[in-house]
Amino acid sequence: MRIFVSFLLTAVCTFAADWPRFRGPNGSGVAGAGSLPAEFGPKKNLVWRVKAPAGTSSPIVSGGRMYLTSFDKEDRLLICLDAGNGAELWRRSHPRDRQEAFHPINGPATPSPVVEGRNVYAFFPEIGLVSYDRNGNLRWKTPLGPFHSVQGLASSPIYTDGLVILAIDQTQDSFVAAFDAATGKQRWKAPRPSNSMGGYSTPVVFDPKDGPSQVVFAGAIEIAGYQIQTGERIWWVHGISAATAATPVLHSGILYSSEPIGAEAGGAFSIFSPMDKNKDGKLDKEEIKDPGMIRLLLGIEKEFGNDDGLLDEREWDKFREAAKDVGGMAAIKVDGRGDLSKTGIRWKLLKSIPYLTSSMFLDGVLYSVRDGGILSSINPDTGVIHKQARLEGALDKYYASPVAGDGKLFLTSEQGKIVVVKAGPQWELLAVNDLEEQTYATPALADGRIYIRTRQALYCFGQAATLGQ
């Protein structure tokens, strides 16, 4: 009887409709079955609304509970809420071990947690990895860092095959590592190439027909697949990524990666003239001043110059030359071994590619949204664009990645416009819902509900007809 009860408790904590990691099942952004409303807001199809703690990580929903990371002054928080009514069930606090650099939009709580069964795992760049059980009991803590990031680490941990996997692309000493989910002990660590930009993408899992399972990561310098149990680098692709932020999408052995061509190459060196106070044609940290810009520009100087702490036009132009042809949206066949840079790329698009938002594969169509509210539907076999048009009523910046369920796409703009689109090659605009609150986190879709984190609040929306169920 005890064994049966234990099995039952584990089973009820993991549903097919769960959203257990960043962007849901294997980072696809696609939810399982469930009716989802097209129209919603503070006065329509609202299940609950509670005040949001500080942070930009995306909500995770599993076993009827929502998990998210947050921060409060010096403390880094993991919070658990009842997904049904928004009531806080527990919060656990860890004082930061040090102060990491991050972009103001990023903040110290950007990576999303991951849930497996009765356990939750969270990564705080200023602390490391922590694991709690469903009831908020600490299972283990693994200190990590310090790190060397330009914008602040944003990659979320994932769970697979008894391991918690974390990918760190930074300006130096980049790596991907696996930790035992039961103990937090490192099982393996594989070095990755670094550059002055770093990377911000979350891995996905690939199960080939032949060979071991892999963790696939799109990061600075290269996209690569690693054997999950050993960390062996099985294949890699160069020339597609330089500072990837978007999580790749995997379908039927094809990986869809996304990064604008020369995304961070900028313009001519003359754009920095206002900073050059002494007019010597060079920039130092006293002239740059902004911490994020210092990390970026002096990182470029170190990589492409003589590492004297002074960025000049020659060094900047070398960076621009190296970056100008790197990027694009690419379809990569990843069931091979070794260098697939020439043999694995099926097609590549060069224009209208988003930097921050991930693509999505749904019912034979690839979707992509970029700043300005431009949504593209793409033939995943050829790269031919079916339809590309603006989302009228939401011509805004987009940080949150698209998600989908019930035949609908949900696209979230910075200013809190949630656009709902009927999926299809010739997609149709169904509704523009306005929460009037800045929104950077990617929504979660679970059990017929839409969970959205804004700067001000956490929302849960659902069909009015099902709210009493």
In sequence order, which residues have a C-beta less than 8 Å from that of residue 403 and are 6 or more positions away?
23, 24, 29, 30, 31, 360, 409, 410, 442, 443, 444, 445
Q: Give the CA distances from residue 469 to residues 31, 158, 281, in Å, rounded to whole numbers and listed in that order.
A: 19, 31, 67
Q: What is the rounded CA–CA span in Å between residue 32 and residue 246?
A: 22
pTM: 0.89
Q: What is the rounded CA–CA span in Å between residue 97 and residue 148?
A: 15
Q: Give the CA distances from residue 29 to residues 102, 356, 382, in Å, rounded to whole numbers and listed in that order.
A: 26, 14, 22
Q: What is the pLDDT of residues 281-307, one digit of tens each?
A: 888 888 887 776 777 787 788 878 888
Among 112, 115, 9, 23, CA closest to 62: 115
CB 388 within 8 A of CB 373: no
Taken as a whole, the chain contains a residue count of 469
Residue 160: exposed, middle, or buried by beta-carbon count in 10 A (0-12, 13-18, 19+)? Answer: buried
Residue 232 has, within 13 A of its CA and on its CB side, a CA count of 9
Among 278, 255, 145, CA closest to 205: 255
Q: Which residues pair with 112 in a beta bridge?
A: none
Q: Give the CA distances from residue 5 to residues 11, 80, 93, 284, in Å, rounded to whole numbers and listed in that order.
A: 10, 24, 31, 64
Rounded to 5°, angle at Cα 297 from 295 and 301: 110
Q: What is the rounded CA–CA span in Å between residue 14 and residue 50?
A: 25
Q: What is the pLDDT of residue 9?
A: 35
Q: What is the pLDDT of residue 306?
A: 87
Q: What is the rounded CA–CA span in Å between residue 411 and residue 177?
A: 32
CB 122 within 8 A of CB 156: no
Q: Give the CA distances from residue 6 to residues 10, 13, 118, in Å, rounded to whole numbers and listed in that order.
A: 6, 11, 11
Q: What is the pLDDT of residue 61?
A: 97
- Residues in the chain, pLDDT under 70: 1-16, 262-266, 292, 464-469
Q: What is the pLDDT of residues 415-459, one digit of tens each?
A: 999 999 999 999 999 999 999 999 999 999 999 999 999 999 999
Phi and psi at residue 331, in whole multiples of 5°? -105, 120
Q: What is the rounded CA–CA span in Å between residue 306 and residue 303?
A: 8
Q: Give the CA distances from residue 297 to residues 69, 115, 200, 272, 304, in Å, rounded to whole numbers and listed in that order.
A: 30, 37, 18, 11, 10
Q: What is the rounded CA–CA span in Å between residue 211 and residue 227?
A: 9
